[in-house]
Structure 1
Amino acid sequence: MNLTKIAIVDDHKLFRQGLTQILSRSSDYEVVLEAASGRELLEKIDTHMPDVVLLDLYMDDMDGKEVSKILLEKYEQLKIIILSMTYSPELIFQMTKLGVHGYLPKDIDQTLLRDAINQVRTKGYYINDEIAKALRQGVQTGDKKFTKNKVSLTSINVDLTEREMDVLKLICQGLNTGQIADKLFISYRTVEGHRKNLLEKTGANNSVSLALFAVKHHLLTPVE
């Protein structure tokens, strides 16, 4: 993997300096930009153009959610990892649905931080047990009726059948193959076939990344 250019955005100078020092110990990373606010990041990002932004969720002028929306619309290749003291399933699900590529607590071990940065560069996302749990809870707490978002499916060039959508919904709710088979009154082998098709069509490699793909691309939308 090539050198990863990183921007650190946090309104606490000591925290920014500490992260910079930690990441600078590795020749794999270069901190190209430190910003004390979202506004400062947006003013300077075109000059420095990082690969990954480590972004605080709560800042005075613009919060991480507002900054993320702007970055995701303007910079398609940029990866965003939220770093926050607030590590709740609701926020993790909300920010993942928005499109950020990772969500970490600020007290994370530096080895895990490097692992997360590497994964968003190579895979496009970072998932741990807490993020997987938040994705499942986020789907489960919505309306149990779901509809296929045809615009999103078309825009990302994914063609799923109605039955595959049924299976995807139940995977996102945390059901295993046997439970899905019972729920849909189909065989275990048929569910496995649908699951294999879903993995191939979406480029996911397991049930958790399938759930992440579905949430980020709004493939499962609660009916109002």
Structure 2
Amino acid sequence: MKIHGNIKVIIADDHEIYRDGLRMVLVKQPDIELIAEAADGKELIDHVKAMQPDIVISDVKMPNMDGATATRYLAENHPEVGIIALTMFDEEDLIIDMLEAGAKGYLLKNADKYEIVEAIKSVYNQQPYYCRHTSNKLAQMVAKSKFNPHKLHNKPEFSERELDIITYICNGLTSKEIAEKIFLSVRTVEGLRMKIMEKMDVKNTAGIIIYAIRHHLYKPGRV
């Protein structure tokens, strides 16, 4: 884990209004320092070369050079920089392009300030980040892509009950729906969900789905 200090961040987005909003979030964080802004991929690369940030938050669609092209260059030439893709909710293919190019996580543009900060700190500490608003469809697309950040040294073991819950989660059921199916309280299911996330070292439902598919824990029709 990196030592926490000021996490140096560069943001890249061709929409000035969105950059303004993101800047307002970041400047209020005591351990995050916004060191530059870019309006396209070429400008982003120039800033990274000059300022050596820890984290880059980059839109996927930008003029002159798009996010995936810039990400591919940075991943090859500045692998120490953690890149977070920034996109609209209906741009699943572009998110996959960014992740396969070298991004370590992604945020949808409707993410709140708490999630933005969480994503920055996760990627800064070498952990992938999947937006909380990830659809089941997108999670499965990520899991089947070339993006594979999971490098656990010890593969965790899951109980039969946990495997059942993992399958229900992958099938899109809520904790309440799962509780009704396996005759447990919602609170118990939530507790088991938290334990599963801890074992997988993920932070939300998208992480569970992606991990489960990657590690062949999700078997359609099992439950």
Q: Tell me by how many angstroms 1:211 deviates.
A: 4.5
Asked whether 1:57 is paired with 2:60, we answer: yes
Question: Residues 13 and 205 (structure 1 numbering): CA distance in 2 closer, same or farther, change over 3 Å?
Answer: closer
Distance 1:118 1:22 in 2: 14
Counterpart position of 1:136: 140
Question: Residues 84 and 5 (structure 1 numbering): CA distance in 2 closer, same or farther, change over 3 Å?
Answer: same
Counterpart position of 1:168: none
Can you give the 5+ residue segments of structure 2 that lack an aligned partner in the other structure?
A: 154-162, 169-198, 215-223
Contact 1:38 1:62 in 2 (8 A): yes
After TM superposition, list the pairs within 5 Å mapping 1:68-83 onto structure 2. 68-83=71-86
State the TM-score, normalized to the length of structure 2.
0.60
What are the Cα deviations for residues 182-206 of structure 1, in whole angstroms up to 9, with x where unaligned? xxxxxxxxxxxxxxxxxxxxx9636
* Aligned-CA RMSD value: 3.6
**Number of residue pairs matched by the alignment:** 166
Q: Tell me by how many angstroms 1:110 deviates.
A: 0.8
State the TM-score, normalized to the length of structure 1.
0.60
Counterpart position of 1:33: 36
Contact 1:4 1:52 in 2 (8 A): yes
Contact 2:106 2:131 in 1 (8 A): no
SS at match of 1:81: strand
One-letter identity of the residue aligned with 2:15: H
Q: Tell me by how many angstroms 1:137 deviates.
A: 3.6
Question: Residues 4 and 97 (structure 1 numbering): CA distance in 2 closer, same or farther, change over 3 Å?
Answer: same
Counterpart position of 1:84: 87
Counterpart position of 2:18: 15
Asked whether 1:107 is paired with 2:103, we answer: no
Q: Tell me by how many angstroms 1:51 deviates.
A: 0.6
Can you give the 5+ residue segments of structure 1 that lack an aligned partner in the other structure?
A: 143-148, 159-170, 177-202, 216-224
Contact 1:92 1:131 in 2 (8 A): no
Contact 1:93 1:135 in 2 (8 A): no
Q: Tell me by how many angstroms 1:139 deviates.
A: 5.1
Contact 1:89 1:130 in 2 (8 A): no
Structure 1 or 2: larger helix share? 1
After TM superposition, list the pairs within 5 Å mapping 1:176-187 onto structure 2. none
One-letter identity of the residue aligned with 1:136: Q
